Amino acid sequence: DIPAGQHVAVVGPSGAGKSTFMGLMLGWHSPAQGTIHVDGRVLAGETFAAVRRACAWVDPSVQVWARPLLENLRYGGASEAALGPTLEAAGLIEVLQQLPDGLQTDLGEGGGLVSGGEAQRVRLGRALLRQDNRLALLDEPFRGLDRSQRGTLLRRARSWWSSSTLVCVTHDVHETAAFDRVLVIQEGRIVEDGSPGALSSDPSSRYRALLDAELAVRSGMWSGDN
């Protein structure tokens, strides 16, 4: 049960079922048992269509088209009214400055004329530009960007959607400390559900184990000269 306006982080090992969990809300998958309800109504038919209209989705699989940057951002009928703040929030100002024709620069097939990290910022910008989003679903939304950039963009996205329900799948476990709530998924099941503070203070929790493992990688593998 996710109350309206709550920000929930979803963590767990690769292959645990985090993206499948998101796919249930997006309609890519149907539950084998039980039903999903949104605003008290079963997620099907017109309710599903209404949820999609009110949903922002950021995922590396979102298509970037061989069209100008402006058309990519406005894809789906988004208004240009908030274009300036959107470019700033999505970290696209520096990208825009490097494009030969600015907003009219064609991004190439599959966004091939921009880097992977720049394409991720385009995907974020497209989602931010949509208006009246009640639900934001972010699945590894900043893959291809360095750690500091990922953290900055996540904070901006959460601020932008501060009054929306937000669910974010991430491998940056330390970034989830500021969330209202964390779900830990393992082998297709939610095995822990609570506040980051409570879960991290429990030395036997899986969430604490994920935090410790991330810290070990950062201090061990990435701190040496090699």
pLDDT tens string 122-144:
999 999 998 889 999 999 999 88
d(CA 189, CA 175): 22
Q: What is the pLDDT of residue 147?
A: 87
Yes or no: say if 57 and 26 are a contact pair by the CB < 8 Å rule. Answer: yes
Task: Work out whether the CA dihedral 73, 123, 88, 136 comes out positive or negative.
Answer: positive
Residues in the chain, how many? 226
Yes or no: say if 87 and 125 are a contact pair by the CB < 8 Å rule. Answer: yes
Q: What is the pLDDT of residue 143?
A: 87
d(CA 37, CA 102): 43
Q: Flag whether the pTM goes above 0.85.
A: yes
Helices (H), the chain: 18-26, 45-53, 69-74, 83-89, 93-98, 116-129, 147-160, 196-200, 206-220
Confidence of residue 23 (pLDDT cuts 50, 70, 90): very high
Lookup: tokens for 201: 């203070």
- Res 82 pLDDT > 90: no
Angle between helical axes of 116-129 and 147-160 (0-180°, round to 10): 10
Q: What is the pLDDT of residue 220?
A: 73
Yes or no: say if 58 and 141 are a contact pair by the CB < 8 Å rule. Answer: yes
CA 126, 132, 137 angle in degrees (round to 5)? 55
Question: In degrees rounded to 5, what are phi and psi of residue 41?
Answer: -115, 145
Residue whose entry in the numeric block shows the structure tokens 């300036």: 84
Amino acid sitting at position 95: V
How high does pLDDT run on average in the chain? 92
Q: What is the pLDDT of residue 222?
A: 64
Q: What is the pLDDT of residue 223?
A: 66
Amino acid sitting at position 17: G
C-alpha distances out from residue 219 to 99, 196, 209, 215, Å = 37, 22, 15, 6
More confident: 6 or 214: 6
- Res 175 pLDDT > 90: yes
d(CA 52, CA 42): 14
In this structure, the dihedral spanned by the alpha carbons of residues 204, 1, 176 and 205, taken in order and rounded to 10 degrees, is: 0
Q: How deeply is 190 buried, as exposed, middle or buried, from its count of CB atoms within 10 A (0-12, 13-18, 19+)?
A: middle
Q: What is the pLDDT of residue 104?
A: 96
- Res 64 pLDDT > 80: yes
